[in-house]
Amino acid sequence: MMMANDWKTKEQIMADYGYSEATFYSRCKECSLLSEYRDAIIHDGGQRTYVDEDRFQDFLRYRSEQYRQRMLDPRLKGKG
C-alpha cells in the first residue's frame, strides 16, 4: 500500500527497484549528500526511512546523466 503523499517505505523501494538493503542505504546516502535532492529521503527518527519517489527518481536521472557524462569523457575512461 502506497502512502497518500507518494512516499514509500524502504521495503517498497527495495522491492520496486530490486535493491539489496546495502544498495538502498548507499543510494540514500548519495542522495542525501546532494543538496538539490536530499529532500527525497525522509528520516523519521532513527527507526523509519521513507522515500519521496518522485524526487528520488529525479536523483536517479541526475545520477544516470553523471554516469553518461563520465562514459563520454575519454579522459575519465582512461583513453586520453
Q: pLDDT by residue (tens digit) across 37-63?
A: 999 999 888 788 999 999 999 999 999
What pTM, to 2 d.p., does this model score? 0.81
pLDDT tens column, 4-26: 688 999 999 999 999 999 999 99
Closest CA to 50 of 77, 20, 79, 11: 11
- In the predicted model, what is the mean pLDDT of residues 31-41? 97
Confidence bin at 80 (pLDDT 50/70/90): very low
CB 75 within 8 A of CB 31: no
Task: Name which residue leads in pLDDT, 72 or 20.
Answer: 20
10 CB-contact burial (10 Å; exposed 0-12 / middle 13-18 / buried 19+): middle
pLDDT of residue 31: 97
21-32 helix and 53-72 helix, angle to the nearest 10 degrees? 80
- Coil, helix or strand for 55? helix
